[in-house]
Amino acid sequence: MLRSKGQTITKNLFKLGNRAGTQVCLTTFMLALGFIGTVGIALFSVLLGAFGFNKYTHPKTKVVIVNSPQSYIEYEDKYIDTQGNVYHENCDAPYDFLRISELLKEHRAGIAVVFPEDFDRIVASGQTAQVLMYYRTDTLDYRDMSTNFTDIYLESYKSYVGARFNINYEPANTWDIIRDDIPTDGNLPWDVRFSKQMANTFVPILMFIAILYTAMAIGSESISGQKERGTFSRILLTPVSRKDLVIAFTRGVFTSAFIPAVLILVITFAIPYYAYGSGVAPALMLAFSLTLFIASLTVMISIMNDTVTSAQTAFLPIFFILISVAVTCINGDSEHEAFYYFLPVYGHFYGLGDAFNGVSKLPAAIVCSILTVLLSILMMAVSTKLLTLERFTVSIASSDDAGKAQEAPVSKIIDGIISFFDVIFYPLVILSLFQLLAMIPVAVAYTSDPLYSYFIADLQYVSGMKDIISKTMDIINIFMSDPRFLALMSISYIFMIVAFIIRAKGSSNLGLKPQNAGRNYLKGILLGTAMMSLVFGLLVITGRARPTGVGIKSDDIWLFLFSILMWIPQGAAEEVMFRGFMIPKLKKTVGNVAAVIISSLLFSVFHSLNAGFSVLALVNIFLMAVLFALIYEASGSLIITCAAHTMWNMLQGNIYGLAVSGNVNMPSLILTDYTGSAFGPEGTAEATAVIGLALLITVILILRRKRSSPKAS
């Protein structure tokens, strides 16, 4: 009887025809159609006669020598019969792997040996030179080829160099050979390269999205939807154990989400490029365990929430995080890839891609699946425990409230925890995504810059977290000197603001009210200008800052203009994130005072990785965040603090020539000799005095307004 009751719940959940079922089935169908249309490109190449794509030859004897020193040319002429298989090229940036990859593709070569441009001078002076060895990764033959070339040719070349420059020959000190991969498939036919890329990236991500979306739509309906409709209490009153209920709901969500996963597997393995029988078992195993993991996770979230909207809102950050993890797998580190195969989520992505390419890693798939199933069982146990608490929330005291649950203290705690993590993770995801997109074009362009080579060479001396943070800030400072990066960052900040507006369902819910917007923005401009000008004046009086000139170099005009433009959306984006978005959400769970304190602490931590960060900088940024929060609360308008934030950064960086939260090298109207904190004026006692004064005045004005208008306050 009990078993049949659980099966009935599973069937009803799987059908869900009147609510989520129709939408999910339609979504699954559209995903399948899109997938079929996409892989049709690969099938079309098969019809054009692309069979036999594995029959290609590797250029095992071709080598590209980059920046060949005169000594190597002499050595090659005397001792090596190249037979036309060694090519000489020049490259200003030896770490520009994109250029090296193009050279390998151009000459159909397998390895590239890159010398520094002044190799002979370095070695002749007795210093250690750094020779780079790049090799292709589409077959393991190239790794062996690079080893053989080193042992046979470069080792004997060391002896030649020692004799030529009359230096004591010590193989360990003449030069270092650093090997690196060149991830290129230039010799493969275009259709094979396309199919491999699809298998390693598009197909696993499509499966992740299909499972996550279906589970989210069905899972949020499983329990929280019935709570919302007032029918869940009837289920709790039936003679079915909580454990059986959780299993029944999980089974229903799993069945619904596993259908699109199997559909994608069937279509993929039906394509000739992926018709590898050895990959079916690990792919099916990984798809099964991944679906079970997500199904048990969504059921647990559904138990924690009382409405479909709240359940889907709680699941949304998890959706973004899992998709973000899948995206990071595309550029995974090959040195640690073997370890990642055993981890849930990572192992699923890598394992599915290899299974589609016929690379069977069945033991890793088994271990990954077992770990994932154990995690799923753990979440089901937690769900059972949480569901047990529902007996205290069921109330049938009146006919109007029959079947509805009263909110329990435990539910409040759980909702508070979910809301808190939502407040943290959503901004982090948005910030990381759009800043990464802004950095990629500039980073790619920078690899062809000779300065990049010197920067990469210095990384060999990095040790410890302090050095890593320092180098990271060096990269940021370099990028901040590039107008392209500033322009892209301006666009990314605008998109961040739009993302928060969409999430908040309107700009007014973030404090960006159109009423008196121009007047409020002018107030913010005056506030930010007055505060930073006072700080600069105090720095001059105390001798920490000394103006040395006025004017901008003609070469820095564009950088100056783009810097000015960037601060406008930058200040607004941080205000929207830490004040407009966080404070209203935190208020609902922790109250007004705690919401201001928590958001201000997060704002301080957000700046903690910047260069020169100190205890005083932490205090000043926290006080500034509290000040902006009070202004926002008192005025009801975030536009004032957006303008004040913009002017605070703009004046200290582009007007007064000071560091902005550790970021330096910005063109400014006033050239300043500054000897204060490396973090900039925000790390000085002068800033503490000005922010404290502004905070005191703000509190006095708020209290005075409360006394004069107690009813309104």
pLDDT per position as a tens digit, 58-115: 344 588 888 888 888 888 888 776 666 788 888 877 777 777 877 887 887 878 888 8
Residue 606 has pLDDT above 60, yes or no: yes
What is the pLDDT confidence band of residue 604, given thresholds at 50, 70 and 90?
confident
Torsions phi, psi of 398, nearest 5?
-135, 160
Q: Do 619 and 602 meet the contact criterion of CB atoms below 8 Å apart?
A: no
pLDDT of residue 82: 64
**CA 404 → CA 20, 168, 239, 243, distances in Å?**
21, 88, 18, 21
pLDDT score at 364: 83
Q: What is the pLDDT of residues 609-644, one digit of tens each?
A: 777 788 888 899 999 999 999 999 888 889 999 999
pLDDT tens readout for residues 1-17:
445 545 555 555 555 43
**CA–CA separation, 144 and 135 (whole Å):** 10
CA 582, distance to chain mean position in Å, is: 20
What's the rounded mean pLDDT across residues 153-167? 78
The span from the CA of 129 to the CA of 115, in Å, is: 8
pTM exceeds 0.75 for this model = no
Using CB atoms within 10 A of its CB, is residue 610 exposed (0-12), middle (13-18) or buried (19+)? buried
Does residue 125 contact residue 206 with C-beta atoms inside 8 Å? no
Rounded to whole angstroms, the Cα distance separating 167 from 170 reads 9
Output 138 or 315, whichever has higher pLDDT.
315
Dist. CA 679–CA 659, nearest whole Å? 7
379-430: per-residue pLDDT in tens? 888 888 877 765 434 333 333 444 444 444 555 555 556 666 667 777 877 8
Can you tell me the distance from the alpha carbon of 431 to that of 602, in angstroms, rounded to the nearest whole number?
A: 14
**pLDDT over 80 at 200, yes or no:** no
| Sequence-separated (6 or more) residues with CB below 8 Å from residue 385 | none
Q: What is the pLDDT of residues 334-344, one digit of tens each?
A: 444 566 788 88
Q: What is the pLDDT of residue 105?
A: 77
Q: What's the pLDDT at 389?
A: 66
In tens, the pLDDT along 539-587 reads 999 988 899 888 888 878 888 898 899 999 999 999 999 999 988 888 8
- Does residue 144 have a pLDDT over 90? no
pLDDT tens by residue, 272-290: 777 777 788 888 889 999 9
Per-residue pLDDT band at 523 (split at 50, 70, 90): very high
pLDDT digits (tens, 9 = 90+) for 426-436: 787 787 778 77
Question: What is the DSSP code (8-state) at residue 684?
Answer: S
| pLDDT, averaged across the chain | 75
How much of the chain exceeds pLDDT 90, in percent? 12
